[in-house]
Structure 1
Amino acid sequence: MTATMVTHRKHRLRADASRNRERIVAAAREALVEHGPDIPLDEIARRAGVGNATLYRNFADRRDLLRTIVLSVMERTTQQAQAALAEEPDGFAALQRFVHRAADERIGALCPLLSGAFEADDPELLAVRDHLTRAAGAVVAAAHRSGRLRADVALGDVMVMISQLTRPLPGTGCFDIDQFVHRHLQLFLDGLRAPGRSALPGTPTTLEDLQRKS
């Protein structure tokens, strides 16, 4: 076998390993949304179309896999916020696009994982969360500047809404409510439009408010 053939084989093996890892993460995210974090890892491997050995070669244990899912979803949601802001014609259109794309990432199902599942000072998780906060905050700020987002709504309000409307209802599978999620999100977005038709109780919710209460 020539050196070129060896190099090509190494590249192919790395590409195969990367695809396997991506399939495992995608399958695990869907399984987690449907059945929660206690779903057997064997079932995740089956859904991903890989052997158990491949799963354990990529992830040391369940905690490692769940952490990777959380990081992946937050990174993808950050990218969605950045793309919406860069590509939409105005701030409120960017907000609408971001909300619907964030819903597709199923971020509501991650909330139970983020509550006590990982170290509060995990530097990588903190960094990814900060990137998402800045990107989503920029979208909300642009929507305010457009004059189409009511002034008494803040980023925390938007994130609570996305989280609540994308979290599976108790006793139901995720796919039972998927058909309603975007419909209800659009109803909520219509309620965010300025001018508001009624006064909201309390004060605008920031992410700092949510983090203090979590």
Structure 2
Amino acid sequence: MRADAERSRRRILDAACEVFLERGPDAPLDAVVRRAGVGPGTLYRRFPDRTALVRALVTDLLGRLAEAAGRARTAEPDPYRALRRFAHAAADLRMGAAIVVLLERLVVDADLVAARARAVAEVEALLRAAQDAGQLRRDVGMGDLVLLCVRVSRPLPGGLAALDADGTLVHRHLDLALAGLRPGGGGGDGAGEGGAAPLSFEQVIEAAGRPGEPGATGMAE
């Protein structure tokens, strides 16, 4: 793909992520066009309909999620610091929140399944390393981490958004939440005994489902 075409594609996907987060998966595509600063023809040549755009966006987000996890593991030899670095990168990109918002509009293809498998493998490697080092409670699963990032990174409603105008409040709350995932952080004994079972990413996808697709149970299939 030529550099200018890739830049246009990147602008469209970034704009779509912002618009869908703000206005939901049924937001008008004209809003995506305006946010991206491209013509309607540019969008529709690359993504002929909403289904294609949503599928491409989720595939892209999963790829970026995997890359963020890989970079964190390479940059930080300490397992907990690597996990924290990844969680903050994911919050900045609002990846998890966007994926959850778009699940009901998602039609799965082979590229998306492959992107999801890579993302799950990368993030679970971070979790296992932190748990094996005794730096993360055993009752924390990837689903717990993803939903934590979703809850923290969703835009605040109405006037409350002014409290996080510079984006720092998201990271403060994320650090507070991550501290509770460390052994001795509260809510469990660090070994998963007596607490809830870890929540997997498969369970999150299964719970979200895919309305409109008979017999479908989510991205896990």
Q: Same fold (TM over 0.5)?
A: yes
Aligned counterparts of 1:187 and 1:139: Cα–Cα separation in 2? 19
**Counterpart of 1:204?**
198
- Residue 147 of structure 1, CA deviation: 1.4
Residue type of the alignment partner of 1:155: M
Q: Choose which of 100, 112, 131 in structure 1 pairs with 2:88.
A: 100
Indicate the percent of aligned positions where both proteins have the same amino acid: 42
Matched, 1:73 2:61: yes
Higher helix share: 1
Checking the alignment, whether the CA contact within 8 Å between 2:135 and 2:182 is kept in structure 1 is yes
* 8 Å Cα contact 1:168/1:174 also seen in 2: no
Q: Relative to structure 2, which stretch is displaced further, 122-131 or 149-158?
A: 149-158
| 1:144 paired residue number | 131
- 1:26-78 Cα deviation digits (max 9, x unpaired): 11212222222222222222222211121112210122112111111110111
User: 1:179: Cα distance to partner?
Assistant: 4.4
Q: Structure 1 residue 55 and structure 2 residue 29: aligned?
A: no
- Say if 2:112 is the partner of 1:125: yes
Change (3 A) 1:209 1:24: closer
Alignment partners' CA distance in 2, 1:88 and 1:159? 20
Whole-angstrom CA distance in 1 between matches of 2:45 and 2:21: 23
After superposition, the Cα gap between the structure-2 partners of 1:73 and 1:174, relative to the gap in structure 1 and judged at 3 Å, is farther
Root mean square deviation of aligned Cα: 2.3
Q: Give the Cα–Cα distance (whole angstroms) in 1 for the partners of residues 20 and 204 of structure 2.
A: 23
> SS at the partner of 1:192?
coil
**Unmatched tracts of structure 1, length 5 or more:** 1-10
Q: Does residue 194 in structure 1 map to residue 188 in structure 2?
A: no
Aligned to 2:191: none
Q: Which amino acid counterpart does residue 169 of structure 2 have in structure 1?
A: F
How many residue pairs were aligned?
A: 199
Whose Rg is larger?
Answer: 1
Runs of 4+ in 1 over 4 A off after TM superposition: 171-179
